[in-house]
Structure 1
Amino acid sequence: MVKGSTYFRLRQKSIKYRKDIKIKDTKKGSKQPMKQHEISSSLLFPAGDTAFKAILSARFCAAIWSHITDCDETFNYWEPMHFLVLGKGLQTWEYSPEFALRSYTYILFHAVPAVIYHKLLQPNPLLIFYFTRCLLGLLEAFFEVYFYKAICREFGIHIGRICLAFLLFAPGMFISSTAFLPSSFAMYMFMGACSAWWMQNYNLAVFFTALGSLLGWPFAALLGIPIAYDMLINQKLYKDFLIWSGISATVILIPMAIIDSFYYGRLVIAPFNIVKYNVLGGAGPELYGTEPFSFYFINGFLNFNFIWLLALISPAAIILCYLFVPSKQKSTLTLPYWLSLSPILLWMAVFLFQPHKEERFLFPIYPMICLCGAICIDIIQKLAFRIWSFFQVMAPSTHYLDKTMFIVYFTLIVTSSFGISRMFALYRYYHAPLDLLMEVNKYPNEFKVSEKSNISVCIGKDWYRFPNSFFLPNTNWEIRFIKSEFDGMLPAPFSSNENATSVVHSYFNDQNIGNPDMFFDINKCHFLLDLDLGKQTVLEPIYSHMTDRWKIISSYNFLNAEKSNPFFRAFYIPFLSYRYISFGNFSLLQTKYKIK
């Protein structure tokens, strides 16, 4: 084999990973290896380095072009990081020492590289944002290629390469891969845990599970139950499980408790606090809205299109495979299908029935959705070949892949087309807030505003679309919230005291009760971000129409979902979509008062 080649041709002598069957597998009743004709002799697949380059390219595209889909990412992660790196930022009630639901250790994991970058090069704050996103994309790429290699080993190269294609073009991966969220971090670690598990590196699987659950999102521990079951029930690895559980807890939880307690000014174990709030008698997340049972099914199709449907029917496909496909074509290397895929079933069983649903709650199982879809396609090929063989005499050397690859090609063309269409739609329809804040970022240089000027950039009803303070030119520019119809609780600036993270503010609560002290006087705003969708109220006028008070600096299209066709607002079809959708104007307005 030539090192560095894009693809390797699979031959019997050089098979490293099992394809659809194992080289070590034997015919029933025989100890002899399977013959050459029973293995497809021309299976092409990306090598590890090629897969890494493809994945990294896709993740860097996500880092640059993906918008922030969840205000929780902005206010609970980017804003505290802005405070740790640059000394100013917005604080939410979850970071109030009274509640201490979030971990500063998780923020520091991302902030330390940003601080080093800032100290060495003194970049524009906006570059720190994209630098961090690219680092997340790089981390994701490492775990994703590890996941791909483990799939090739456990499920076969054919399933591995289909899964790789699904991962590259799935909008769900585009959204989640570079999101600064614990659920995304849990996704990275779950890929690592599953990969180590399938490669029988149980100790590493335990550590990755603990890292994703403790440093990331506590509920991700649910995904580790099948690994624990395999270790304790099947493998009888009691000692290894206990030792590595203890090592993981010591290495991760103790430093977390020390760091978080330092910042909060009291003993804090953040993972326990968030579980307590959500499960053990706290106010609960239902305060922030509930969604119908169908929410995840619709959201799953938007993020994975037909891959999602394939994943949903994969359990039925596996049963059919056991019933109608010869045993030599349905084996995996170490684990039965039901155990390998049980994490996604457990996750869906729990989260489908929670009243409070959010897109990010499914992030940890996104890679597994792609895997289930790939397994389903492989089984469909095998079943199609079985049906074909009943009606036509096949040569002894015929392999099911030789006759059914058109199914894969058709599926990849359809799913990739829908995936790219969805990603284009997300960028074209929802990227305006980031584009407008980039206009703000370059304002001081273009209009020669002194860096010492204290500038207030205000936002009203669209407060949840604010990307984060890294988009502001420097720390003398601050985001301010003005009065709107929203009456819930808003973030507030961190205290300017040295012990800012341990200060208890009286206006924070865990009941989502708003406080008028959060609002800024609109007459003191230098800039205003406002979306005009053709509707207004007394508290939410269309400010861009107030030409005596404001002038429009820049304006971008933003989707008006209520006046747009549901299909065409979800997927972008060139030359056609704009006939069926409507836009509002997201504008950057400047006061006509002189900026000092």
Structure 2
Amino acid sequence: MGPKARTKSVQNRKLSGKSEHLFREKLPDRVVVKAIQKGFSANHDVQDLWSPNVQTVFKALASARLCAAVWNNITDCDETYNYWEPLHYLLFGSGFQTWEYSPVYALRSYVFLLIHALPAWIYGLVLHSNQVLVFYFLRWLLGFASTTSETYFYKGVVQQFGPKVGRLTFVFLLFSAGMFQSSSAFLPSTFSMYMSLLSIGAWFQGNYILAILTTAISAFLSWPFAGIIGIGIAVDVLILKKRWRLFINWCVISILIVLVPIILVDSYFYGRLVVAPMNIVVYNIFSNHGPDLYGTSPWTFYFLNGFLNFNFIFPLGLVALPTVLITKKLKPIRNQSIPLWLALLPLYVWILIFFTQPHKEERFLYPIYPLFGLAAAFTWTCVESCLKALKLPEKLTQYLTLSLILSSSVISVSRIIGQYRGYHAPMDVFLELNRLSWESEGDSMQYNICMGKEWYRYPSSFFLPNNMKLLFVASEFRGQLPRPFDPLPNGTRSLPPYMNDLNKEETTRYAMLKDCHYLVDLETGLATEREPQYSQMTSEWETIFQVDFLDNAGSPQLLRAFYIPWFSETYCKKIPYVLLKRKPSSNNKKKRQR
């Protein structure tokens, strides 16, 4: 081959690589497929070159996350009382305070609340919206943030590991019940999930500055333990790339532009010097009891939870590392610059730390939910390579992949529908309460609505009509309930009485039943002295609204975890979730007659 021929060959190879990238990024999907078939089929598998473009991915994710914003339940009382309630206090001047917001302990950052309060305040100011619409507007913003960060993550996966891994990751995340639940939750762990998507996506695209900065934002602003996810970035930048100066410089810059403002703002709100991220670490690791006093769970908790939220994708994600190592010689994944084991390192380090802790909560896994989708995509790509190496028909491999995607998606949708149908009653009841309040708009009387054992399902003061106040009545729960914030502007600084960090019962939180005008309750059929069946006290209470609620004790385990048409309606037991109204007393009736 002469010099001209060699030069032309090299140019053709470069042009081929550029064209392949151009086809994937710039042209519509159908054009990409045709172009690949014409120009690249001799050297590449068409399926290996095609993946949905960024615009398509964004639209699909936006549709799913908007549905989550509208239909998601509030599954954790921590979301209500530690985030929605103090946010409502900042916006509207009323809300419940937990011990974490006492200046004595100061575990929570007001900066995290303020970045959500600002768009909510602007929305309410411009459109004069009621509190319920402000709540759903914020949820929509959370869903949009998830969509944006997931799309950026997808782009990084495609660039680093190729279209096949990218499109599998996209589909696994799109239909995941876990992503549906976590994407619009108002929790630091959800915010850390957004930041993890951005930091790892930036890492995969070689943007180390953004990767370091978003990891710092996640650790300082939302959840200190989320900094663990940056371990892969640190190893790559410091050990593999040996870019110490860049890493140290941007760690210092992150402290100056992220942590210092957080300290200043929180110190202002608490009225003393406060480093909230440090307080969280000290409480959870160095205190005598840590979070274990709020309950412990068996080692199987996260495995069961992972299967419920990701079904087949979860075990595929767990075995990603050994699968990648076993199939290494087949070179199933075309990674550009990051070793596969390093990309999986944050997932396995998180699992090692959190799976071994006695106190377990579902939200603790939110930051690594996207990594399960990526890890499962690694595993299945390796499986496909093994099937090809065994000379199995290509059609069979395609059918197996399609079967995995369809079955996992259907199961996830079944999980989502089951959770909504079974546990959405509390939000329905308070929406009905708002409807009743709107119908009697001219009524200037103030009413008390009470909750006993259902206190932890309260959907937040965003659902509480302006002429109503929430009170707690005694129940079998013997821990510490929250209390109302003291009035603004100094309510965040005042030392609330009767607060402890040991979850000890504070009887000052309870109201007398006679002070309740309305009451929300779940009719379990069981009664105790502190938890009577209020709806059976017909001389005092009348049921004005009720919604079906799934009875866990009386329903089969499979059917309460997933919705299966006909079977769920037939074999699941429903019990009433009721809104009760106090009947006028006989004395009041006599006064009215006179």
TM > 0.5 between the two? yes
1:374 maps to a residue whose letter is A
Contact 1:421 1:571 in 2 (8 A): yes
3-state secondary structure, aligned to 1:529: strand
Pairing 1:318–2:321 present: no
Match of 2:169 in 1: 163
For residues 5-20 of structure 1, what are the structure 2 equivalents within 5 Å? Answer: 5=28, 9-10=32-33
Match of 1:581 in 2: 572
Match of 1:330 in 2: 333
Contact 2:65 2:184 in 1 (8 A): yes
Q: 1:548-588 deviations in whole A, cap 9, x for unaligned?
A: 11111110111111111000100000111122211111001
Match of 1:495 in 2: 486
Q: 1:7 to 1:273 in 2, by over 3 A?
A: farther
Pairing 1:444–2:437 present: yes
Match of 2:302 in 1: 296
Cα distance in 2 for residues equivalent to 1:271 and 1:341: 26
Pairing 1:41–2:66 present: no
Cα distance in 2 for residues equivalent to 1:55 and 1:496: 41
Partner of residue 340 from structure 1, selected from 323, 339, 343: 343
Q: What is the total number of aligned residue pairs between the two structures?
A: 563
Cα distance in 2 for residues equivalent to 1:478 and 1:12: 65
Q: 1:440 to 1:265 in 2, by over 3 A?
A: same
3-state secondary structure, aligned to 2:75: coil
Q: 1:452-472 deviations in whole A, cap 9, x for unaligned?
A: 432211100011111100001
Cα distance in 2 for residues equivalent to 1:555 and 1:8: 54
Match of 1:120 in 2: 126
Cα distance in 1 for residues equivalent to 2:333 and 2:179: 28
Cα distance in 2 for residues equivalent to 1:545 and 1:236: 72
Match of 1:108 in 2: 114
3-state secondary structure, aligned to 1:38: coil
Match of 1:513 in 2: 504
1:75 maps to a residue whose letter is Y
3-state secondary structure, aligned to 2:311: helix
Pairing 1:473–2:465 present: yes
Match of 2:390 in 1: 387
Cα offset for 1:524?
1.0
Cα distance in 2 for residues equivalent to 1:244 and 1:176: 29
Q: 1:332 to 1:108 in 2, by over 3 A?
A: same
Pairing 1:543–2:534 present: yes
Cα offset for 1:5?
4.0
Pairing 1:97–2:103 present: yes
Pairing 1:424–2:417 present: yes
Contact 1:314 1:376 in 2 (8 A): yes
Cα distance in 1 for residues equivalent to 2:435 and 2:157: 46
For residues 227-238 of structure 1, what are the structure 2 equivalents within 5 Å? Answer: 227-238=233-244
Q: 1:82 to 1:6 in 2, by over 3 A?
A: farther
Contact 2:124 2:134 in 1 (8 A): yes
Contact 1:196 1:204 in 2 (8 A): yes
Cα offset for 1:7?
5.2
Cα distance in 1 for residues equivalent to 2:178 and 2:421: 17
Q: 1:114 to 1:35 in 2, by over 3 A?
A: closer
Contact 1:291 1:356 in 2 (8 A): yes
Contact 1:7 1:44 in 2 (8 A): no
Q: 1:51-86 deviations in whole A, cap 9, x for unaligned?
A: 101101100100000100100000000000000000
Match of 1:25 in 2: none
Pairing 1:280–2:286 present: yes
Partner of residue 545 from structure 2, selected from 527, 537, 554: 554
Match of 1:593 in 2: 584
For residues 123-272 of structure 1, what are the structure 2 equivalents within 5 Å? Answer: 123-272=129-278
Cα offset for 1:165?
0.9
Match of 1:23 in 2: none
Cα RMSD for the two superposed structures = 2.0
Cα distance in 2 for residues equivalent to 1:294 and 1:581: 25
Cα distance in 1 for residues equivalent to 2:70 and 2:143: 10
Match of 2:10 in 1: none
Q: 1:324-360 deviations in whole A, cap 9, x for unaligned?
A: x2x3x43311111100111000000000110000000
Cα offset for 1:388?
2.1
3-state secondary structure, aligned to 2:91: helix
3-state secondary structure, aligned to 2:543: strand
Cα distance in 1 for residues equivalent to 2:325 and 2:255: 38
2:384 maps to a residue whose letter is Q
Cα offset for 1:545?
1.2
Cα offset for 1:376?
1.2
Cα distance in 1 for residues equivalent to 2:361 and 2:179: 16
Cα offset for 1:13?
7.0
3-state secondary structure, aligned to 1:61: helix
Cα offset for 1:292?
0.3
Q: 1:8 to 1:310 in 2, by over 3 A?
A: farther
3-state secondary structure, aligned to 1:267: coil
3-state secondary structure, aligned to 1:388: coil
Structure 2: state its 5+ residue gaps.
1-22
2:433 maps to a residue whose letter is V
Match of 2:353 in 1: 350
Cα offset for 1:159?
1.3
2:450 maps to a residue whose letter is C
Structure 1: state its 5+ residue gaps.
16-33, 393-399
3-state secondary structure, aligned to 2:170: helix
Query: Which has the larger displacement, 147-156 or 338-347?
Result: 147-156
Q: 1:7 to 1:482 in 2, by over 3 A?
A: farther
Cα offset for 1:433?
0.3
Match of 1:363 in 2: 366
3-state secondary structure, aligned to 2:580: strand
- Give me the identity figure in percent: 43
Partner of residue 519 from structure 2, selected from 513, 525, 528: 528
Cα offset for 1:497?
5.0
Cα offset for 1:11?
6.6
Q: 1:14 to 1:97 in 2, by over 3 A?
A: farther
3-state secondary structure, aligned to 1:554: strand
Contact 2:544 2:581 in 1 (8 A): yes
Contact 2:96 2:485 in 1 (8 A): yes
Cα distance in 2 for residues equivalent to 1:157 and 1:429: 38
Contact 2:193 2:366 in 1 (8 A): yes
Pairing 1:464–2:456 present: yes
Cα offset for 1:592?
1.3
Cα offset for 1:505?
1.5
Cα distance in 2 for residues equivalent to 1:453 and 1:310: 58
2:461 maps to a residue whose letter is S
Contact 2:333 2:381 in 1 (8 A): no
3-state secondary structure, aligned to 1:341: helix
Partner of residue 376 from structure 1, selected from 367, 375, 379: 379
Cα offset for 1:421?
0.2
Contact 2:521 2:579 in 1 (8 A): yes
Match of 2:428 in 1: 435
1:416 maps to a residue whose letter is S
3-state secondary structure, aligned to 2:578: strand
Cα offset for 1:447?
3.2
Query: Which has the larger displacement, 159-168 or 357-366?
Result: 159-168
Match of 2:60 in 1: 54
Match of 1:569 in 2: 560
Q: 1:489 to 1:163 in 2, by over 3 A?
A: same
